[in-house]
Chain A
């Protein structure tokens, strides 16, 4: 082999290798496999605005066919009361499906606590719902591929595919998942995917009288929720878990667990 042939062969060989690589990108483009949806649903909760009426919980249970009297819910409202000594008392009587109609804190096991007005230093309500994490740990642990994140960022559960093993219920750092007593599968909030997909607001957002709960699309630059998240002080629950939750809170304090 002379030098000319060697160089020709090298050029041909390099071209062939690059072509094979190129074909791979043409037929399996990484950009296509990545998210292409123009929507990424996010949620915004304003703790100052929440009045603890519990209409969100009622609407959620009826909209999503969760047995009303069962002690499980896709969303709930927690009450936090901090007294003068800095002690934190929290409760969520019946997931707040009937709201908070008394000042007594339900400590559980039949015990109640009254905190008089002059001793109440901080008190507020915190609505909780599925965070639709960008890196959902509940999805990673599913052994059968029954729970997944779709292109819009919503984590859904395939009720035909779920075997009810409960790994996802254990894996969620926020305790959002529960075992559906009728369908016998894992269940959780999905931002009312059947509603937001057709442009309606989730049932809880519609039922909220104060605008404490809002849904938005973080990929839409004109979206009011996107603007608040980008321009105001918002926080998420338990960022240390690395799940990148997508339910943002205005006025979230360290008392909230």
Chain B
């Protein structure tokens, strides 16, 4: 009989592994839509990603309270710029945060308005300046109103 003892040991190890597996691996872990190669996963993870917090609410959200400012912007050359590109993500404003932080940096404007003569890109069609020569060190908003995309006031 004792020749069978190693067999019992192996069976016991297999049983322990199977029990541990059933405890550790969630029941929704398995093969899903894309088959074994691409779809072997824990399905509840999709719900976790769906519940990820949305931070950027879009202009449609801003216009509900700030209609006047949005109106001003959308009738200017800056109509394609989203509010949140400069004002930062709305999150659940006005509850949290109470006030959005406006980026007044010169570098924000220079993202588009540094003159780059790139023939195959729409960039070359945007009016630009050489940041080293055009009032270096000064904030653009001292002279220009970004909501009106205007000449110096």
Contact = CB atoms under 8 A, between A and B. Distances in A.
Whether A associates with B in a native complex is: yes
B82 interface: yes
Given A62-B55, A197-B50, A55 B38 contact: no
A194 B120 contact: no
Nearest to B30: A145
B51 to A, nearest CB: 7
Contact of B85 (A52, A125, A207): A207
B56 A123 contact: no
Interface stretch (B10-18, B105-113, B137-145): B105-113
A117 B115 CA distance: 11
Main secondary structure of the interface of B (DSSP, over half): loop
Interface of B: 29, 32-35, 37-42, 45-46, 48-56, 58, 80-82, 84-85, 88-89, 107, 110-112, 114-123, 126, 131
A194 B50 contact: yes
B89 A98 contact: no
Counting from the closest, the 5 A-B pairs by CB-CB distance are: A99-B111, A148-B41, A194-B52, A123-B118, A101-B110
16 contacts: A48-B120, A52-B123, A58-B85, A59-B84, A99-B107, A99-B111, A123-B116, A148-B32, A148-B39, A151-B34, A193-B52, A198-B54, A207-B85, A209-B85, A209-B112, A251-B120
B35 A100 contact: no
B89 A62 contact: yes
